[in-house]
Structure 1
Amino acid sequence: MAREQGSNETGEDAGGHARRRFLTLAAGASAGALTGIPYAHAGPRRDAQPTDFPFTLGVASGDPLPDSVVLWTRLAPRPFEPGGGLPPAGTVQVHWEIAEDEGFRRTGRTGLALAEAANGYSVHADVRGLRPGRDYWYRFRAGAWTSPVGRTRTAPAADATPSRLRIGLASCQQYDEGYFTAHAHLAREELDAVFFVGDYIYENAIDPQAGDRGLPAGSRLPEVFGHETVTLEDYRLRYALAKSDPDLQAAHAAHPWCVTWDDHEVSNNYAAEIPQAGEDAARFPRRRAAAYQAYWENMPLRRDRMPQGRAMDLYRRLSFGRLAQFDVLDTRQYRSDQAYGDGWQYPGPASQDPARTLTGDRQERWLLDGFRASTATWNVLSQQVAFSRRRLTAIGPSRLSMDAWDGYPASRQRVLDGARAAGVGNLVVFSGDSHIHLAMDIKKDFDDPRSAVLGVEILGTSISSGGDGMAKPEDWASLLAANPHMSYYAKRRGYVVVTLTPTHARADYRTLPYVTRPGAPVATETSLVTEAGKPGFHPA
């Protein structure tokens, strides 16, 4: 694989303005018509340009390198129609511009990208020749229309040692279970990048009334969202629904994102090319291929990540100078099928089989090779599902999650053994999936509370999945008692801000009191620190 190299505790109404974009697309298009900058094409037109505002899904950037960043947009004048309101075949010329100031007085680079119908009219501009560790602003033009402005940031130089790196950790945004208000707060954070660790969309059928979305009286989602996603067009429309949200657009426009998927970008709890029980296994590979294509089209990923057939290389390595190395994993595409079903089950010979893998052999070798080559202070695994063991009872046998690393203990042990053999002393694991906040010490032996701590895990809650949640879950005391390595557990929605320095890593767990109506404030529920060379969480 190629090597790709302050709290906002206010009570202001962050989401009061954030009515779902599907209610205001016409108004947004009108605003675009007033503010768009006409642009004369250089060279012949390949196709007719959009006659309506095409940037309804916003802009994004991602995977920063010291000299490069990916700029993304997708043209969709009518995003809830097949093809986004553009022809089923054709190409649109899109001009991009990146500058060193928000007013675009010091333009750094410009270029032309071709948005093709075959790729959902998406744009993935890999901008090179930038300076390391700097903020940039960017925008796109298509025909007479100009996109909103986004801000991005390149990674530090390879030999730099930044004094601080601030990362947002987010996951799990089910449209019909809550507003994306957390993204409005995430957009206001001072961050170098956002790591999103899965469940960007959900495949379920959405009731036209959008469940508990709290839509204004008389409002309905288009009927096209009333069935489960199966085809490429289904997945494209579902991404359009998510990306029509103004708070999500704001978070993308404010920071570069480094993304990976979990299961719901395809189908619940799938494993490799094996669907969940009850789904037609013969048809599933075709569904997965459609989902992977739509994922690439809608994420700020380079063109070399484009799916090839039914496969897509998503795992990759991003370095932020000598301070941090991020290994972004894919724990879905290559995993062994879950043992004993995909829920919480008692472990046994099937789950403990040494041959079982969550990463696949090739990705595992790549990861361990990366550990051995790393010179970073912090080695961070950005991945999907809970890494540390999670028992449900303190005494006697306990059921474990067969869908998480607990269902693949030999695979987890190989990763930890590889990290120790490589001398990785400051291991941090990012996780999502569970719709809860957790802080856990990664133990050499989870059965022995006195066992050595090998690293820490920061498991972030959901943006909206699961609805409002609760301040103190009913199983709060029992779960903490069953897992002495667990130092924090909460069930609100939100995200985590992780600050890395040469001496310590700090996790600030942000929470929102509700998401089933707009306007929730954000607060820091707890802050924990682990020191470089002394792994283990303690209060900040």
Structure 2
Amino acid sequence: MDLTRRRLLGGTGAGAAALGLHAAGLTSGTAWADPRFPDDPFRLGVASGDPHPDGVVLWTRLAPDPLALDGRGGMPGRRVTVQWQIAHDERFQRVVRQGTAYAVPELAHSVHVEVTGLEPGRDYFYRFRAGGVLSPAGRTRTAPHARTRTDLAFAFASCQCWYEGFYTAYRHMAAEDLDFVVHLGDYLYEYGVGATAGVRGMSLDASFQRETYTLSEYRNRHALTRMDTDLQAAHLAFPWVLTWDDHEVENNWAGDIAQLDSDGFPDGDATAFRARKAAAFQAYYEHLPLRLPQKPDGSDVRMYRRLGFGRTLDLHVLDTRSYRDDQVCGDGTKPGCDTERSDPARTMLGAEQERWLLDGAARSGATWNVLANQTLVAQVDQNADPAVVSSGLDMWDGYTAARDRLLTGLHERGAANPVVVTGDIHRSVVADLKLDFADASSPVVATEFAGTSISSGRDGAAMDKVGRDWLAPGVNPHLKWHNAQRGYTVLRLTADDLRADYRVVPYVTTPGAPVETAGRFVVERDRPGAQPA
């Protein structure tokens, strides 16, 4: 850790290729010429994200008092100059880029530096300095050159309810050999944390005991999450690619429609809900390594995007919340509703995103097309009785015509080796995705690897009642495997196959759990469907 407090080297870099993005168009008063912080301003850590072949985005937020009730992190209403460096080595003796950026109060003194001019497919180290204080040093990695075919490894994770479990899985993830991490949503939860902060055993201000609505409340919930040292370790180790699901705003939101029983919002009050989304989206951007195109404009933001990793992988990052139709039949899990959920006018992605996805996958020259998706695509009958079909209406099962368009579109357009990675369900599932789930002879067109939660749902088990119901004979024959423990999934991609290792911990309600591999699967190139490895 002495590395994180070495003096910042000056005047030795090869120049800067970054934008002071947060200063543009913002009026933040005078600069704080000689900052003196009451505590470490880098208590929320540092991070990098969205790697390109020539660069990455670097992130930090100055917050010497991260949980200050006004949501300002203990910072004054003045802009602060932040220096940054990126180097070939962790001792910063070979600095290749450096520069300055502004941390402004309008964005909670967060900094997003989009560095360019780097070499493709190699490791770099980065750090920040503000007011004479040096940040921790992070490691990042650029994407391979567009014409390169190289082996890749990444982990995906989701659902990290802070008060329901410790983030031990992230400490283990940080020790893996990975190129990047994909987070599929539920980075935080909007609910109150409880009198003792759940398993964390802490006493927090009353503002943490209620659901989040305001910008300061969302900021502080993010800050509470980001203070976890295991989470910080995983951010330090790799660049992250992130998208959201529902709890970054509110449970099961759909477009401009709040959950039916949402506290404080009359049903159908889209204006009030858009204001809540705007606060949630801004706090999300302020706390994560996102590029300028993902900066929200009020309640509008384009979160879906595509990242290329040479000729091995095209990663299609989806947003299945912002454009979807409302859940049918009052939401939840229930039988019936076949007519409503199969309505061809209903959408999960919205017309523009759906077209963008199918067109991009069809044009892809990569071996693997991976969809970073939130809710389960595979059909899942929730009832073990074959005579009763029970559907989860927030999942793609509630949008069956949209699912048909997705899977048929990938198949008919000849998208190469589509694989879906999914979060949300707090359990791990491996599934064959078929054109017709009711027809045993229908072709398998893609593979879905759904991953469990980091901590949501507290301690899990290898099998539970839900798993037994899903795997009951004749109920869901396209499901290959199930596990309900906590953890993350590692995918390793080559020109010949894609391998998935499900990494799980036996408990999260106390810290220090070991990690093990609960299941291994392989998808061979041009042969959709997973097999045990």
Runs of 4+ in structure 1 over 6 Å off: 38-41
Task: Say whether the 8 Å CA contact 1:498–1:508 is kept in structure 2.
Answer: yes
User: Which structure 2 segments of 5+ residues have no match?
Assistant: 12-29
Pick which of 393-402 and 504-513 moved more. 393-402
1:439 and 1:394 map into 2 onto residues whose CA distance is 21
Alignment map for 1:246-395 (pairs within 5 Å): 246-279=229-262, 280=265, 281-282=268-269, 283-345=272-334, 346-392=336-382, 393=384, 395=386
Counterpart of 2:210, as a letter, is H
**Secondary structure of the residue that 1:177 maps to in structure 2?**
coil
| Alignment partners' CA distance in 1, 2:33 and 2:437 | 61
Give the Cα separation in 2 of the matches to 1:352 and 1:179: 40
Instruction: Give the drift of 1:394.
Output: 5.2
One-letter amino acid matched to 1:234 = E
Match of 2:415 among 397, 408, 424: 424
1:473 aligns with 2:464: yes
Tell me how far 1:46 sits from its aligned partner: 4.5
> Is residue 514 of structure 1 aligned with residue 497 of structure 2?
no
Structure 2 match to 1:100: 88
CA contact (8 A) 2:5 2:135 kept: no
1:284 counterpart letter in structure 2 = F
Task: Give the distance between the partners of 1:421 and 1:348, measured in 2 at CA.
Answer: 25
Q: Does 1:497 align with 2:524?
A: no
Provide, for residues 387-442 of structure 1, a one-character-per-residue CA deviation record: whole Å limited to 9, x for no partner.
Answer: 11111235123111110111111111111122112211411001000000111111
Give the aligned partner of residue 211 of structure 1: 198
CA distance in 2, matches of 1:47, 1:402: 54
Instruction: Return the offset for 1:377.
Output: 0.6
Deviations 1:3-54 (A, max 9, x none): xxxxxxxxxxxxxxxxxxxxxxxxx9xx99x93637899xx95444242310
Name the structure 1 match of 2:157: 170
Provide Cα deviations, 1:424-479, integer angstroms capped at 9, x if missing partner.
14110010000001111111211122321111001000000000011221343331
Unaligned runs of 5+ in 1: 1-27
Cα distance change on mapping 1:271 and 1:293 into 2, 3 Å: same
| Separation of aligned partners in 2, 1:367 and 1:40 | 45
- Distance in 2 between residues matched to 1:348 and 1:441, nearest whole Å: 22
Task: Give the counterpart letter for 1:200 in structure 2.
Answer: Y
1:408 equivalent in alignment to 2:391: no
Q: % of aligned pairs identical?
A: 49
Instruction: Map 1:183-202 onto structure 2 (within 5 A).
Output: 183-202=170-189
Q: Given residue 288 of structure 1, which amino acid in structure 2 is its aligned partner?
A: K
Are 2:520 and 1:527 aligned? yes
Please give the secondary structure, in 1, of the residue aligned with 2:80.
strand
Of residues 341-350 and 133-142 in structure 1, the stretch that sits farther from structure 2 once superposed is 341-350
- Structure 2 CA distance for partners of 1:187 and 1:38, relative to 1, 3 Å: closer
2:21 aligned partner: none
Residues 328-375 of structure 1 deviation map (CA, whole Å, 9 limit, x = unaligned): 000001110001122112232211110100101111111111022111
* Residue 147 of structure 2: aligned partner: 159
| Aligned mates of 2:5, 2:364 — CA distance in 1 | 47
Question: Helix, strand or coil for the counterpart of 1:371?
Answer: helix
Per-residue CA shift, 1:178-231, capped at 9, x if unaligned?
000000001111001100000000000112311233x3xxx4233331111100
Cα distance per residue 1:80-121 (max 9 Å; x no partner): 10300001x221111110001111111110011111110111
- RMSD, aligned α-carbons: 1.9
Name the CA shift for 1:333/1:47 in 2 (closer, same or farther; >3 Å): farther
Distance in 2 between residues matched to 1:475 and 1:206, nearest whole Å: 26
SS, match of residue 514 in structure 2 = coil
Letter of the aligned partner of 2:230 in structure 1?
D
1:158–1:322 Cα contact (<8 Å) kept: yes
Equivalent position of 1:126 in the other structure: 114
For these two proteins, the number of residue pairs brought into alignment is 503
**SS at 1:400's partner residue?**
strand
Question: How far apart are 1:487 and its partner, in Å?
Answer: 1.0
CA contact (8 A) 1:347 1:399 kept: no
Which residue identity lines up with residue 339 of structure 1 in the other structure? V
After superposing the two structures, state which structure 1 stretch, 200-209 or 301-310, moved more: 301-310
Tell me the CA shift for residue 123 of structure 1.
Answer: 0.6
2: CA distance, partners of 1:142 / 1:399: 55
TM-score, normalised to structure 2, is 0.91
What TM-score, normalized by structure 1, do the two folds share? 0.90
Q: Which amino acid aligns with 1:227?
A: R
Instruction: Return the letter of the residue paired with 1:355.
Output: A
- Do the aligned partners of 2:9 and 2:92 also contact (CA within 8 Å) in 1? no
- Asked if structure 2 preserves the Cα contact closer than 8 Å seen for 1:171 and 1:198, the reply is yes
| 1:84 alignment partner in structure 2 | 73
Alpha-carbon contact 1:371-1:418 (below 8 Å) kept: no
Which region of structure 1 is more displaced relative to structure 2, 392-401 or 522-531? 392-401
Q: Secondary structure at the match of 1:364?
A: helix
Quote the residue 1:483 is aligned against.
476
| Counterpart AA for 2:7 | I
2: distance between equivalents of 1:436 and 1:101? 39
